[in-house]
Structure 1
Amino acid sequence: MGSHEQALVSLLNQVALSFDGAVLGVALAYVAVRSVLKFTFNSTALDKLRKAPSISVSDLRSLLGDSETEGNSENSQLVVVRGTVEAKPVVDSSCKSFRPSILVSRESGDKAVVVQRTQTCIYNEWKGFLGWTSDLRAIFSKSWRQQESPSFRTVPFVLIDGRLRTHADYVVVNLDGSRHPLPLTTVYHKLQPINASPYTFLQALFGHEYPVGLLDEEKILPLGKEINAVGLCSFRDGIAEIKSSKDLPYFLTDLSKDQMIVDLAFKTNILFWAGILFGSMSVAILGYAAVRNWNKWKECRQRRQLRQRNQDVSNDADSQAVVDDEPEEVPDGQLCVICLMRRRRSVFIPCGHLVCCQGCAISVEHEVTPKCPVCRQEIRNAVRIFES
């Protein structure tokens, strides 16, 4: 591990353990809350998925009825539909669109209804001769910088029952508003190196990122692929339509209903125990930090009160000494060299000069750099002299 990495780890360790671990406790509490929220979401989704019927496209009309009403949330039902991907214009002659009815992969030539092409620029980083690269900047700049340029194309498609020769029954897949991952198939994956240029040399010299390769990928949802659609299904003008549900983590998937239930139950258990673990750790750390900081605050308050009491006692003693040392008839050789009104009462340590009264000696002693008014030597304190 280099010096930059060690400095970064040391900084993160100091931040995490600051305030006796309170920052670390808050971070763990945040993770615990997020785990509990995800656990609640997955538990609700698991219950809904278990209750949802799993049927084929041909049995969908018998389940939902032959309703001709507009599809809305009140008439929709959560179902798991198994079907084969097909372009909508193939089964619905009334479907008219300016877009092509079927997409064709540019690399493989496969027919599809969804084509996603992504170009990812891969960067490398060298410290450079000048050593100006900061690891902290490198970490965050990679997350802020857009390194991918995806393109997503789709055409209207439906799910049909592939076992039947006729496709009188089908369900339209509505992707509007869906952010769920799609069961895409990778048909092209190639990494192309980028030739270096003089500008690349300057970037490497000064420790900046420079591109070294371009990863080109193409994924498609091909025709004839058998998938499951999990969502809210309803009839719109006599045609079945299914759309995604925000309460479920799945929409279009290769998994069967049983596989989805097993996968979701496993994630739910992980989130449950993670919430308990991180919650317990955060409570323990925050409790320890609270007790430690409370004790430190009490000790600081006690020291402050003790210091204040000592200062009050010292001020009372000094005031009493000044009051006792009232001006009187004093020979000229025994007058204070500062006020020329009171008798010389205090000796400066370490020089030993007896030249000031008690009040003036206290004033000299409280200066930032107290010095004897005669020899200008720095003094530590002043001692009052009493005559017997």
Structure 2
Amino acid sequence: MASYEREISAAVARLALAGDGALLGFTLAIFALQTWSKFRSSSSALTKIRQARAFRISDLRSLFSESDENQAEGGKLVVVRGQVQAKSTVDGNSKVPLFSQDSGEKAVVILSTQTCLYNEWRGIFGWNFDWRALLGRSLKEQLTTSFRMVPFVLVEDGNWLCSDYVIVNLENSRHSLPLTTVYHQLRPIQATPFTFLQAIFGHGYPVGILDEEKILPPGKEITAVGHCNLQCGVPEIRSCEWLPYFLSDLTKDQLVADLALQTRFLFWGGILLSTLSVGILSYSFIRNRSKWQEWRSWRQAQQQRSSTPEMTENEETGDVPDGQLCIICLMRRKRSAFLPCGHLVCCARCAALVEHDAIPRCPLCRQDIQSSIRIYDS
């Protein structure tokens, strides 16, 4: 491990353990709250998908003849499985779907991306690690993105000549699409003198450009989960923001099983993070409370000790014989004897000052002082 890696690791460890682990406990508590929030959303989505009815495309029209309840909240939640076809093909339009520029395949959705890849270096325990990636910078930087789409529908059993189909509306949808990668090429970047300087100081020089193209081809069988309603007499399905799925390769049973696994993982993860955060915060509270009590006791002792000479100042500064004056201030009566030498040469205030010196020594015999004792007249 390099020296700067050890320094960064030590700094992060000190920051995490600041306040006897209070910062680490609060961080884990925030993660626990986020985990429980995700668990709540995931369990709610799981319940909704389980209760959603799975329809054949040819049976969707019967959904609207049952009641008008499907018009509430944008439509009734349904699960539909069918094959992708361009809407122009189903409508009898001669317009063909999109064609991939790199692979030449037909598609209704084409996503082209160009990504710059940065080098990876061996970090702690030999893992591929980068502190800047931990702080927010990824080892990949997306340069350009191109998204093209034509309206498409889902048909039943590939029979796109029939009139039964459901329109897929992607408007305002932020869900990922079940795309297939058809083109993948990595172009290396030639090293330059500037790259050499980056390798010395930054460990973040680019090593290649990755070109990818993903498509949603006609004929692919997918599942749509969303709100269904009628648009101009044709069923249309829209995404639901509170559901983690919209279009997927999985069937309804597979979606339920996958979401149930995520919900279970979030549940036990929330319990683990909550337990750790409560334990660390309790330990930190007890430690800091004990330190505060010790500091408070020490502060009170110091205040009492410093106020004692002032309480008797009038008594000590009266008519004092010459032989009884403090040899340091020559104003107050000798009241404190030093141990272990036993010399009675200072007043209580000056004795306290001598005792708190860096190297406390008796002003008379120069012997090291361990403590002082107050002497009272009978």
Shift of 1:199: 3.1
Residue type at the aligned position of 2:33: V
Residue type at the aligned position of 1:78: L
Moved more, 4-13 or 229-238: 4-13
| Residue 243 (structure 1) aligned to one of 223, 233, 238 | 238
Q: What secondary structure is seen at the aligned counterpart in 2 of 1:191?
A: strand
Shift of 1:34: 1.2
Matched, 1:227 2:226: no
Correspondence 1:138-177 to 2 at 5 A: 139-140=134-135, 142-143=137-138, 146-164=141-159, 166-177=161-172
| Residue 257 (structure 2) aligned to one of 262, 283, 307 | 262
Shift of 1:211: 1.5
Structure 1 residues 146 and 319: CA distance shift in structure 2, 3 A:
farther
C-alpha root-mean-square deviation of aligned residues, in Å?
Answer: 4.3
Distance in 1 (alpha carbons) for counterparts of 2:141 and 2:297: 56
Q: Deviations over 1:133-170 (max 9, x none)?
A: xx645653624984443222111111112353633121
Shift of 1:324: 4.3
Distance in 2 (alpha carbons) for counterparts of 1:343 and 1:295: 39
Name the residue aligned to 2:125: none
Moved more, 220-229 or 13-22: 13-22
Name the residue aligned to 1:88: 87
Q: Is the 8 A contact 2:87 2:152 kept in 1?
A: yes
Correspondence 1:329-340 to 2 at 5 A: none
Shift of 1:385: 12
Structure 1 residues 257 and 363: CA distance shift in structure 2, 3 A:
closer
Residue type at the aligned position of 1:21: G
**Which structure 2 segments of 5+ residues have no match?**
123-129, 339-344, 360-365
Moved more, 4-13 or 38-47: 4-13
Shift of 1:75: 5.2
Identity of aligned residues (%): 48
Q: What secondary structure is seen at the aligned counterpart in 2 of 1:323?
A: coil
Name the residue aligned to 2:297: 302
Q: Is the 8 A contact 1:101 1:156 kept in 2?
A: no
Q: Is the 8 A contact 2:224 2:247 kept in 1?
A: yes
Matched, 1:316 2:311: yes
Q: Is the 8 A contact 2:166 2:237 kept in 1?
A: yes
Matched, 1:271 2:256: no
Instruction: Give the number of equivalent residue pairs.
Output: 365
Shift of 1:126: 7.9
Matched, 1:43 2:10: no
Name the residue aligned to 1:79: 78
Distance in 2 (alpha carbons) for counterparts of 1:283 and 1:82: 46
Name the residue aligned to 1:196: 191
Name the residue aligned to 1:64: 64
Structure 1 residues 298 and 359: CA distance shift in structure 2, 3 A:
closer
Residue type at the aligned position of 1:25: G
Residue type at the aligned position of 2:9: V
Structure 1 residues 283 and 345: CA distance shift in structure 2, 3 A:
closer
Distance in 2 (alpha carbons) for counterparts of 1:23 and 1:367: 35
Q: Is the 8 A contact 1:77 1:234 kept in 2?
A: yes
Residue type at the aligned position of 1:59: D
**Misfit runs of 4+, over 6 Å:** 334-340, 342-347, 356-370, 379-386
Larger Rg: 1
Distance in 2 (alpha carbons) for counterparts of 1:343 and 1:293: 42
Q: Is the 8 A contact 2:228 2:235 kept in 1?
A: yes
Matched, 1:183 2:178: yes
Q: Is the 8 A contact 1:120 1:216 kept in 2?
A: yes
Matched, 1:217 2:216: no
Name the residue aligned to 1:352: none
Distance in 2 (alpha carbons) for counterparts of 1:48 and 1:360: 78
Q: What secondary structure is seen at the aligned counterpart in 1 of 2:116?
A: strand
TM-score scaled to structure 2, two decimals? 0.80
Q: What secondary structure is seen at the aligned counterpart in 1 of 2:31?
A: helix
Distance in 2 (alpha carbons) for counterparts of 1:294 and 1:264: 44
Distance in 1 (alpha carbons) for counterparts of 2:236 and 2:335: 101
Name the residue aligned to 1:52: 52
TM-score scaled to structure 1, two decimals? 0.78
Name the residue aligned to 1:3: 3
Matched, 1:32 2:32: yes
Distance in 1 (alpha carbons) for counterparts of 2:294 and 2:352: 31
Q: What secondary structure is seen at the aligned counterpart in 1 of 2:274?
A: helix
Moved more, 7-16 or 38-47: 7-16
